[in-house]
A = this chain, B = another copy of it.
Amino acid sequence: MVAKTRLHELTATEIVRVIQAGEASCEEVVQACLAHIEVREPTVEAWQYLDPDQVLAQARALDRQNGSPGPLHGVPFGVKDIIDTCDMPTSYGSPIYEGHQPVLDAACVALSRKAGGVLMGKTVTTEFANVHPGKTRHPMDPERTPGGSSSGSGAAVGGKMVPLALGTQTTASVIRPASFCGAFGYRPTYGDLRMVGVKEAASSLDTLGLMARSIEDISLYRDVLLDIVPIPLPSVSQAPKVGFCRTPLWSQLEPYTASLLETAAEELAKAGAQVEEVHLPGEFDSIVEMHRAISSFEFRRNFTYEIVNHWGQISPALRQGRIASGQACSYEQYCDAKMWAETRRRQLDDVFASFDVLLTASAAGEAPVGLGSTGNPVFCALWTTMHVPAMTAPVFTGPNGLPVGAQLVGRRYRDRQLLTTAQWISQRLG
């Protein structure tokens, strides 16, 4: 039996089991999370909106419910405040939308509730999921950024306030905060998980992202969001083929991160994995520029209403960053970048003919000191643009004792294989 005051430390899978076994009620799980949040929130500020009464009412309704429980019955989840909710305001990290109340739940929220999840509240996002930071601080060191743009989701899951949270990623917005905050972060194959009700940044790149404290939970939550009957991951007996991929951006890594990854590659080989270095063809070197063309061209046009009507309420960082880049990018450059990406995706498919997974960096290193920036996003730009599924696993510790993730990348439409392989790898490195 888990102590009632420690229920917030459980994973989603454990919470489901405990509630089904009658060892705790939905309300008790939520009470434990709320109590922990009450202690930690003044320092971390992960939440944009959280009303304990509203959360308790949901839990009590679930405890009263007859009929067969859903696969997330009683599991509290946080939702990045870029995602619409029908009963909680959604402000997209912008003063333009302060107090805005959507009329419906985003598809991902509706699917989570349908599965029995308890919507804990809205987690802090950077402005429109871009770079201008929100108020959130790193759950282990308030002088440091939690990463972004899914800042509150990373801090809430890493800081054990909720076992699950939804984020979104257009560059590095799930993998980076999860890596910084010590959570598992998962970005699915582009297009697999529905984006209805999510404020768009750049639809050619945007995906949902999931954060959790186990791969088992990631798999469960993914099945819920696909609206399919959840099937636990199989245990793998066969060691995977791992491609160790120093991308063209390797020189931007902290030296200790490069060392941690090199040591990990050696450990996996010792554990039986077939590990080889993967060198991407030279065409991949232009990734940062190509990613910028696609994301900026689309962002600039997507926000026409806000730019025309609310220019004064847009941060200088966004005006001079993404919006200015989108203005400078021609339609021809945009199309060239989309065609470039399509050709690179096929080249990457060929790489995956020889490997089950690529091992690479999630972020430059530990979460940097300072709240003015959410860190360097370049280590995810390639994988996001390639539409491949990616996951960060919190398997390393940096020089200041803070988490550093390893990024594992799979082949498009092989997300379940990625999660299965990631399970094998993180058990050997963790």
Contacts and interface: CB of A to CB of B under 8 A. Distances in A.
Contacts of A300: 227
Nearest to A111: B304
A106 to B, nearest CB: 8
Nearest to A113: B308
Interface in A91-107: 97, 100, 103-107
Contacts of A191: 203-204, 338
Contacts of A301: 107, 111, 194, 226-227
A196 B201 CA distance: 9
A195 interface: yes
Interface in A184-199: 191-192, 194-197
A228 B327 CA distance: 9
A105 B196 CA distance: 17
Contacts of A413: 335, 338-339
A23 interface: no
A27 interface: no
Contacts of A366: none
Given A196-B200, A203-B191, A305 B227 contact: no
B100 A304 contact: no
A61 interface: no
A302 interface: yes
Q: Within the oligomer, what is the number of copies of this chain?
A: 2
Most buried by B among A195, A196, A197: A196
B194 A298 contact: yes
A110 interface: yes
A251 to B, nearest CB: 33
A86 interface: yes
B194 A114 contact: no
Interface in A172-227: 191-192, 194-197, 200, 203-204, 226-227
A331 interface: yes
A1 B203 CA distance: 45
Interface in A77-132: 86, 97, 100, 103-107, 109-111, 113-114
A227 B227 CA distance: 37
Contact of A203 (B103, B203, B305, B335): B203
A306 interface: yes
A52 to B, nearest CB: 24
B194 A305 contact: no
A196 B109 CA distance: 19
A232 to B, nearest CB: 16
Interface string A298-320: 10111111101000000000000
Interface in A229-252: none
A110 B305 contact: yes
A389 to B, nearest CB: 12
A195 B302 CA distance: 8
Most B CB atoms within 10 A — which of A86, A105, A301? A301
Given A191-B203, A194-B298, A305 B226 contact: no
Given A192-B335, A196-B203, A339-B413, 13 more contacts: A86-B305, A97-B103, A105-B304, A105-B305, A106-B305, A107-B302, A109-B305, A110-B305, A111-B301, A191-B338, A194-B302, A228-B330, A338-B413
17 contacts: A104-B305, A105-B305, A106-B305, A107-B301, A111-B304, A191-B338, A192-B335, A194-B301, A196-B200, A196-B302, A197-B305, A203-B203, A226-B331, A227-B300, A228-B330, A335-B413, A338-B413
